[in-house]
Structure 1
């Protein structure tokens, strides 16, 4: 069978390799024929040497989708023929996890999704709704869990206002999941075209931060000076204090990205005086993915896929992810 390997921390070190076919799966394990994968910013960090703890050579891409083709003894979670999403952290089945569990990550220190047939723990995969494409399934684990957990952190419901920064995978998933809960959504972008697409998916208010660089003031205006209940903070960097200024007293900032930089000067006085909650995340459990999928199934949510690339165009997928020109998720179709 075939796989794509990243030989080292360099985008020029991808190679297609021939690997031995897997043996029949043991107890609690399954074989999955991989059909699609999706891109996350951490995949770029792995491929450029910016992510810690990578074991090279590595089969890249954290998130994937496939069809169960064989099951081992004592497998009850799935059956042959099921269409499944593959969780990135196979040992994180439920709860908050711990440092050891969180560090065992597909595409980082165990092999990821760009492989013809993957041998996996049955407890690390989730059966997916039939209305989703392979690319839609692959798009769900990382971005879907992050968005769902952010909404859960602030107990988002019909009376809530949520601010989403940018129109990447997590923000668009959060838009769709927040609207499923009946929440009001304000979303930012530098592109009017992307903001129009966000409105088509249900966004209530949009802010072009190129035209309104003080977008926190715009959020305050749109909330009658009160502020939002939740900011899903996917940017970081110098703009982090704008997120602090955007939330109401007792509000939540859910930090999960660093596109604007990994360090930020925080207005600690505002955090304390306004009783703000700042929570970070590096993912969630298989149980979190299952809960996310339940919402997707109930509301027939279709993950927004900006583009799907062939394996031969893998470098173009990484390039698009690097420059951030996408809306929603970037997928890779696995046709060997």
Structure 2
């Protein structure tokens, strides 16, 4: 079977399509899946560009969606023909995250082989059902980005109707957060450096938009839009370069989900301001299988469909990564085969 792998020492010039050994029939508790789509995340970008070193010959991509072909003995949750989508942390089934979840040792496309291949045989617990009626490309968008937004807002944040959500940027996590928040009856503020993207976010239901390049005090402006109260939830993707403004924006007792470090791995934190706000600053990485199942159940009761910026063919995967690198996308980038 064909697979896209990373060759040492890493980087886009080291991505290669190879004839990979077929995984064969599933063993007890496993399923064999014909994979048809994946979607790109910042984590995949770091692996593909060599910033997260991967083993020589590692099959790329954390997200995978496809069709169950065969089930192993003891599997009752799935049957041949079911549409399924992978889990980012297959070892994290439920409950609180444990120490191993903090690493990427068990993450597809990083510590273990990913889903840039025609077939995969994994534990049945490494997948959930895909949302009903979704294409494989659409389903592939929930594994990492959308589940992160769901966990930040609903599972950990306790999002309620009439809450105000501030989401930074217009990538996969932010746009999923916008859709989830509107589904739950919340108001949403979106930031971006592009007026065009802000107008697209407004068309999707954003209640207020701020161009952070034009307004360095975007956190203050977000707070002012709430009448001075502050926002209830912040999806913080920048890290040290944006955290101060996120703290400025959040209400007393509010919730900041630190889900990205695009501006650096370390930096100053305005601790006195954070203490005065009595805000909860929570770092998080994606979510558990149980949270993904709950998210899929919610999607099955809604009319939400993911926003896909562009879809590439399997052979164009390096081009998809370059498109992500440029940062011009709105929503998710997918690869289908």
Q: CA deviation at 1:97?
A: 2.7
**Equivalences for residues 63-212 of structure 1 within 5 A:** 63-103=63-103, 104-152=106-154, 153-212=156-215
Q: CA deviation at 1:101?
A: 4.1
Aligned position for 1:243: 246
Contact 1:92-1:102 at 8 Å conserved across structures:
no
Q: CA deviation at 1:276?
A: 1.1
Q: Does 2:334 align with 1:331?
A: yes
Query: Unaligned regions of 5+ residues in structure 1, if any?
Result: none
Contact 1:64-1:85 at 8 Å conserved across structures:
yes
* Higher mean displacement: 71-80 or 8-17: 8-17
Q: CA deviation at 1:56?
A: 2.8
Q: CA deviation at 1:45?
A: 0.9
Deviations 1:30-69 (A, max 9, x none): 10000000000011111233226x3332101111101000
Aligned position for 1:56: 56
Q: Distance in 1 between matches of 2:157 and 2:25?
A: 44
Secondary structure of 2:243's aligned partner: helix
Q: CA deviation at 1:106?
A: 0.4
* Higher mean displacement: 32-41 or 131-140: 131-140
| TM-score, normalised via structure 1 length | 0.96
Query: Unaligned regions of 5+ residues in structure 2, if any?
Result: none
Q: CA deviation at 1:102?
A: 4.5
Q: CA deviation at 1:96?
A: 1.8
Decide which of 279, 283, 292 is 1:280's aligned counterpart.
283
Aligned position for 2:31: 30
Contact 1:220-1:226 at 8 Å conserved across structures:
yes
Contact 2:240-2:269 at 8 Å conserved across structures:
no
| TM-score, normalised via structure 2 length | 0.96
Deviations 1:183-231 (A, max 9, x none): 0101111112111111121111111112222111210220111110110
Secondary structure of 2:79's aligned partner: coil
Secondary structure of 1:21's aligned partner: coil
Q: Distance in 2 between matches of 1:308 and 1:135?
A: 8
Q: Distance in 2 between matches of 1:77 and 1:101?
A: 24
**Equivalences for residues 215-226 of structure 1 within 5 A:** 215-226=218-229
Contact 2:168-2:237 at 8 Å conserved across structures:
yes
* Higher mean displacement: 40-49 or 30-39: 40-49
Q: Distance in 1 between matches of 2:216 and 2:295?
A: 33
Secondary structure of 1:12's aligned partner: helix
Q: Distance in 1 between matches of 2:55 and 2:22?
A: 22
* Higher mean displacement: 287-296 or 94-103: 94-103
- RMSD (Å), alpha carbons: 1.3
Q: Distance in 2 between matches of 1:294 and 1:267?
A: 39
Deviations 1:274-309 (A, max 9, x none): 211100111211111111111211112101100001
